[in-house]
Every structure is written in C-alpha cells, then in structure tokens.
Structure 1
C-alpha cells in the first residue's frame, strides 16, 4: 500500500469537524435522520435537566472540534465557568457480516446509492436495512456516554456533543455510517465493486416488486409542521425605479393589483392552515364584475377606481356601495345588495317564523315586506334575507339603502347590531 493510500485510509476511519458556530434561534436537526438521532438521546437520558444544559452549551458554541471514529465520537466541551471536559459517546459498530448484508441490499436498489451520494438518508434505505436485520440509526439506549466529569448517565457535556453531531448528520449521513464502522471511501469503493459484479452477472428484469412498492407508501418521513400564519399580508416589491415604464404600462394599477394579490394570498394561506380567518369568497370562480369589486377594497386611486367601476358595470357611487358590501361578506353580501327576489313557500314560512320568534310581542317592530326585504316602519332600518337564510342589516343613508353589518342567523341580532353602530339618518 502506498503512503498516499495509507493517508486516505487514515482519513477514512477518522474525521474531525471544526467547531460549529452558535446555533441561536435554530433547531439542531432539520432532517428526519438527524431528528431520529436526537430522539435516541432524549429517550435514553434520565435527567431532563442535563439535556437542557446540553442544549444550552451546544447553542452557545461551547462544543469544540468533533472527532468521529468507528464506534465513538469525541469533543472537548467548555462549561459556562470555562472549565473543559472531554466528552465521548459510543455507538456499537456493525460487524462484517452485517456490512455485507447492508451493501448487498444497497446495490440491489440503485436509488439508495444515489441518495447517499447526494448526502441524503432515504427512509427506504433505513427500512430496507432494518428488514435485513441491520439498524443504522441508534435506538433507545444505543448512545452510551463517557465523560471525565464522572457522570454515570448523559451529562450536559455528552448531551451537548450529541446535539452538535445532529447538525453534522444533517449535512452528511456518512458521519453515521462512519460511526457504525465504515468510512465513506471504503464504503463507496465496496459499493462500486459489488455494482460491477452485479452488472456482469445475469440480471433480472427491471422493476419493483408490487408488494414492496405498496409497502413503501407507509414509510415516508412525516411532513414538517405547517408554518405560522403571518399577522398580515406582505408588502409587494416597489415599482419605483429610475427606469421609466414601457409604453402603454401604467404602474398605478400594477401596484394596486400586487397589493390585492398579497391580501388574497394571505387569506388563502389562512384557510389552508385552518385559522379562523374571515372568509370573503365563496367557492367557485368570480365573475369579472365581482372581481372588480374585490379589487376595489382598500381605496385604490381615482384612476384605478374609475377603471374598476367600468369593469364592474357600475358608476363610482355604485362601486362604493358594492365594495362596502363585499367587505362585510364577499359574494353573498354582494348578492343581497343587488338582487331582490320573491320569498315564497317553505322559505317564506321559515322567514316569518324567525321574525315572529325573534322579539317578544310587545317589542316586535312593525315591518313592511317587499320581496326578500323587510323595512322597519318609521325608521331608516331594513332587514334583507339572503339565499342562505341569514339576515343582513341595512340602513338608509342619503336616500339609498346601504349595508350596515354582517349577516346573522337571528333577525333581532342583525337589527340590534345596526342600531348599535348608530349613524342612521332620520326617517
């Protein structure tokens, strides 16, 4: 063996990783195999206070360079009082027969080798190895601590070392394979040799066994937790640049459209994350007229508002009323504003029953009905019945009926919400 080969062999059975910077504000394991490593630690340690101490030390960057060898990882860890301790964590190596079974299994499934070369640890590889009787990831009690602080269980120093190694595993799963007894170069050389023999040997038809394919659907890693909903929609990028817009392009409508798109994206994200966000749209595609009303929310400039009014087939005053309705209930509120329909049959019977039971007899207001609209006699107040059976309060302002609140199942509540808002003109 040449001197160069001896140096490669030495590097292959021992790797030293420089001390990592502090990990403030981030987790120690982003990959599922890094999380499995930490689970083995946290399930084994008997003293949770030592685990917390280890996390603090690791986050503070108190773990020095980490040496990884077959069966052992080592680092010097500095305590908060600046004393240092050598911490070791032991992990049982695979024997020769186990490595043979693992390598034969990996060669049979080319995707395993490809994933390792991409520095990934696919769940299929771990599951297939387990089926062959080989546990790659540590389990309960597999991470054995040794520290010169003389702790008999995992102490803060060995815990800090394990948390730091989780970060190394995220970057390179070959670190785990080295701990199990085989360095990267030797492992890849052996895989190459076995792959060559397999190619030269008579091969079976390509494909995956149906049972194996069906079984693999249950061994995918869990999905990460959903992100938190931002408190409000983001701010679109600014269009104010030194470059003038191309001919025929008006920046003002683009700015408004980008802002409304951000608001709609926030609403859709809220619904996807199952937050109790106000639903402004019903399912289904909006008409051009409805979408023009949606885009008019939050006061676009005059030029944009004029274009939206044209697109909504309304004048500016009509668009303002429609926008006010939209803000109270989306498509349903817009329909109640603009559509008058005859209430008949069972729907009329339910509406009358709701009005009869909403107030005590001596408190019931005098109502005059026309279609789906009940006007309170002698007042500027009105109740409108929606197609979904909800009641919408309306108030007459400057001679026009205007939406005055959100829908309610109870007509008395709807009317009371309008009266509480105040501001109605005299009858």
Structure 2
C-alpha cells in the first residue's frame, strides 16, 4: 500500500475497485462498518456508498486526528469533498490507555503486528475509553449538502475499513495520537513501570528477605512456569473391567479436554496484568456434546478407531446421527453456539428483517456481478451452484457449501453477504445477472 506519512497526518493512495469481496475482514474493521451502518438514518445512502467504494470512486484518503478527508467521484464524474469526523481522546484518556497497554506485553506486540487486541479494547471500555466508534459516532460532512451520511461519506468509511484491516494505527491516529508518538509513550511508560517494580525498602522488611533469614526455613519456591503443553491424563487400560455404564475411552477424552482447559486457564492466570473474567454462558446438553465431539472428530468428520464408540455416544446423546454430528462440529468450529443455531434452525424472514436482507443482497454486488439467488426461509441458494448463504438472527450471513448431498458450513459469518459468499464462490466464477428472491420457493 502506497502512503506518505507525516507526524500528524497520513495519506493513503486510492484502493482499486473491490468487486466481489468484503471491505473488512478483521473484527475491528467490521466493528467500524457496524458503527456506520447501525448509526446512519438513510439505508439507501449507505448502499450508494458501498457501490461507490466498490467501483473505486474514492480518491486518496487523508487521516489526521479527528478527521478523515477524501474526494469521491459520482458516476457522472462530479467530484465531492467528503469528511468523516470522530472525537479525539483527551490527554487523560490517552494516559490511561497507555497504562493499560503496558500492563500486558501482548498488547504492544499485537499492535506492532498490525492487529487490534480484543482485550485492550475491552479493558479500555471498562476504563471509560471508547477506541472503536459506536453507532452515531462517525459524523459526516460533505459539500453535496447532505445533513447526515450521504453516499460520499459512506464510501469513505467503507474505504477506511480496508485501511484499518491492514493497520489499526490508522484508528489510533484518528483518535488523536500518531504511531511514533504512541510508541514513544509506550516505551517510556514501560521503562518507568519496570523501575517502579524494583523492590524499595520503606519502614518494613521485604517478605522474601524475612523468610530467607528465618532459621531452618527452606527458601521460597519460584513461581511455576507454564508447561509447554497440557498434561497427558493417565491411561485407563487396567486389567480390572470398568463398572457398568462407564466408557474408559470417554473418560480419557474428558480428562484430555479438562487438561487442555486447565492449561488455558493457567496461561491466562500467569499472564501479566491478568484479571478475572466473568464466566461464559453454560451450553445446553446438546451443545456441549458438539463441543466435546470437536475434540474427537477431525475436519473431515473422521475419528480414530479408539474414539468410535465415544463419537457414537455423543451423537446419540445429542439426538444426531454421525453425519449430523460431523456437520455440527464443523459449524461449532466456525462460530460456536451462534453457528450451530444457523445450521439447525430454519426460520421465516419477514417484515423489517426481510427488507434489510433484501437491501443487503441488492447492494452487495454490482448489477452485472449479482448472482441469481433462490430463497427459502433464511436460506438463499445460488442457482446452478452448490453455494448458499444463511442469515442468522443477528443479521450476519453464513456461507454454506453442498457436500455429498448435504449443506455444510464453509466459513465464518460476515455482515456483508458478498464477503460471506466469496468464501465458497470462486473469484473467477461467472457472475449471473440478477437476484431472484421468491420467498417460499423451493
């Protein structure tokens, strides 16, 4: 990506047309687009902006604290200056954010790898600092005269989503701090924290020194290191037959999964600055059976001979056949409970949800690239192919592929149906001319 950097401004060259693929692939890029799409008052302007961005109508993008600027060209070649404004963080907020970042070495490492750490954003929110914008936070200014987001400012936002994917420092600059300035602050704060961590004797005596001075007492043990991998549970192949109803292979699998979970919890506890996280929602019996089966079945649905009985037991206990269990495991790996619900639930898309779905499908592709879709419930099948889109109740689209006569999950969810379908639909596949969505059709 060509760009010219200055201390407080970065200018990015225009991106090529983005036909047939999504604008954002990272979770923070999608969150940026959600702030635009959920906060705009006119959905038609958002769809216009998406078409302009896909057509490559956005010129060079200038990013500086609190403002994004670009020139956008309409199909009739009229050019408009479009600005998108976002509140800058205060000096106190930056101080707190830097403190949070230096508490975990992984935060700084992730930023340097051009990734936005989930935990940093969550910790910042807990401290009252919003890094990512929310609905209504992206303020629009355009010389076309629109008082809310128009197609021009929306197109700029879609273009910026791609820039954020590649470099989250773009967002931090927009919030008010250039990359080098922030890195200097992180380095200085980290050095100060290490100096402060050195033991300083005041009125008392260091506990470790007092313990070491005690007569006959052994030295304090060192903090244990995290094992490189989870422990291996003891084998259950004893000469004594198991009690009725006890499956030794199942116990071995449960013990191995427990060891893996314990290893993950210990890694979190030993991480610098770790905090106690609220417990997750307890899955149902059927969902938990799929979770356990994910540790037994491989990507193809096959299982080692020793785990055959366990897989059959999990399938029966969850009310599924082996093929259904393999499909459920694949869905689980793509999105947990949400993906499992999309696999197993077919529901009627009606009213406002149907209007939003049709608008998303209409604006996802240019007219000459749009595939022909046949709809049934929340499932849109690409006519003449083994590709399908499924709409979740949260508005996200899930890609599916026909395999062996069965629809199988094929990727993660996306807010943009074109991005979801691109996972299963080859880029070179000929685009069909229009969308047909006759609800209730087979």
When normalised by structure 1's length, the TM-score is: 0.49
When normalised by structure 2's length, the TM-score is: 0.47
Rg larger in 1 or in 2?
1
